[in-house]
Amino acid sequence: MTLENIKLDIDYVRSQFPAFKDPLSKDWSFFENAGGSYVPQNVIEKLTEFMTSTKVQPYAKYPMSKIAGENMDLATDLFSKMINAKNNEILIGGSTSINLYVLSNALKKYINPGDEVIVTNQDHEANISPWLRLKEQGANIVQWKFNLSNQELEISDLEKLITSKTKILAVTHCSNIIGSVNNLKDICKLAHKNNIIVIGDGVSYAPHGFPNVKELDVDFYTFSLYKTYGPHLALLYGKEEILKDLPNQNHEFLNGIYPYTINPGGPNHEELVSLIGIYEYFIKLYDHHFKEKGLSILNKIKKINNLFSKHEEHIANPILKYLHERKDLKLLGKNKIINKDRAPTISFISNVKTSKNISEELVKNKIATRNDNFYAWRCLEHLGINTEDGVVRLSMAHYNTYHETKNVISALEKI
Ligand SMILES: Cc1ncc(COP(=O)(O)O)c(C=O)c1O
């Protein structure tokens, strides 16, 4: 078998997730992954292990405490390797929304009256509202609007918005409604030519493949770990050269020990340690599918990302095609995933039924989904969609099956 022919072993994948055997969840086709994902056994084990034997204050000399501290450091270390960051460039916070508020507060020092901050109308509110607060520093907020005809954020439009006063650009790597993957690398290139700091929201991107932050050359990047098969935490990456100059927002005596100075307090210890389980799961997947030894963690992740993408194309493209061809439904975003240019996060509305109505019908057919604006209400407003009723969103992860794809299509056919 050549490398190119290797397919994700979906039975093996699903055997790692207890939810697929659990009496409450096992009969459901789960299509709410953009809301939050299931966790593999390794994550549950790490959490249990911490709570059972090392649930003490970490970093003292006695073994329970020493091991607790070592595992907390290990979790950060492994995650930094998985996304190609240094281990002092990573912060673990309660959620992406919290991370971005904390970051915008820290970046205030770069803002003078009259400076400009660019936000998009394709983003989730988490990467808009914190930057609007910079108005208090005298910043003018500029909106980069997506093109209504193809629903994409056009870099040519961004070019027109940039001025010598632009200091910050907050942009999503992938829309949680439209599903498009934005070319963050090119966006960063353009921004950096103009000395602009870029904050990338990777929440809808990372579940489909961990990012390589150095390759993207993004200044800050955040994603929610509870959507990447972990507990309810979120990761914030920042370039060391910027992080070390940010003001201390933690206890006064911690001054200078970045990145601990950015968050006003530490992370949830047990959940942090359970992140080791995500790493273990990915390495298990690598060992199950590939023979090549001696690869770096980053390269193993890259191979797994590619396996995920191929599988996700296979299970999402039939749904995209089906929705695109239904005359009474309007699919948002691209109607096919080609080369990872779209996430399998699929939103649509109907000409005849409300989104609430459709999602309720889908639930009756054991399709776990919902209707909402998913906090990207500016995006929905721009599209002229009722933000109360929102869209129906079918969001998939690598553990969804082709059988579930067929389930959702036959349920849509019925209703
Ligand atoms: C694209 C996007 N960004 C940000 C967030 C906010 O994440 P959190 O719930 O971790 O604050 C979400 C949550 O759904 C999201 O989908």
Q: What is the pLDDT of residues 23-35, one digit of tens each?
A: 999 999 999 999 9
Q: What is the pLDDT of residues 338-371, one digit of tens each?
A: 999 999 999 999 999 999 999 999 999 999 999 9
Residue 152: CB atoms within 10 Å = 19
The pLDDT of residue 1 is above 50: no
Q: State the angle between helix axes of 402-414 and 297-325 in degrees (0 to 180), rounded to the nearest 10.
A: 20
Q: Cis link prior to 207 (omega < 30° from 0)?
A: no
Q: What is the pLDDT of residues 49-101, one digit of tens each?
A: 999 999 999 999 999 999 999 999 999 999 999 999 999 999 999 999 999 99
Q: Using a 6 Å cutoff on CB, does residue 204 contact ligand 1? A: yes
User: 17, 38 in Cβ contact below 8 A?
Assistant: yes
Name the class of domain 3-38+298-414. Answer: alpha beta
Residue 4 has what pLDDT?
58
Q: What is the pLDDT of residues 263-311, one digit of tens each?
A: 999 999 999 999 999 999 999 999 999 999 999 999 999 999 999 999 9
> Could you tell me the pTM of the whole model?
0.97
Q: Could you list the beta-strand ranges (E) of 77-136.
A: 90-93, 116-120
The pLDDT of residue 2 is above 50: no
Residue 3 has what pLDDT?
46
Q: Using a 6 Å cutoff on CB, does residue 372 contact ligand 1? A: no
Residue 257 has what pLDDT?
83
Residue 310 has what pLDDT?
97
User: 7, 33 in Cβ contact below 8 A?
Assistant: no
Residue 255 has what pLDDT?
84
Return the SS3 of 348.
strand
What is the rounded distance in angstroms from the CA atom of residue 264 to the CA atom of residue 93?
A: 10
Calculate the CA 249 to chain-centre distance. Answer: 25
Ligand 1 atom closest to residue 174's alpha carbon, by position in its atom list: 1
Calculate the CA 265 to chain-centre distance. Answer: 23
Q: What is the pLDDT of residues 388-415, one digit of tens each?
A: 999 999 999 999 999 999 999 999 999 8
Burial class (CB in 10 A: 0-12, 13-18, 19+), 199: buried
- DSSP state string for 33-49: TTT-----HHHHHHHHH
Phi, psi (rounded to 5 degrees) for 29: -90, 115
Ligand 1 atom closest to residue 98's alpha carbon, by position in its atom list: 11
Q: Using a 6 Å cutoff on CB, does residue 234 contact ligand 1? A: yes
Mutation pick for ligand 1 pocket among 101, 204, 268, 380 (CB with most ligand atoms within 8 Å): 204
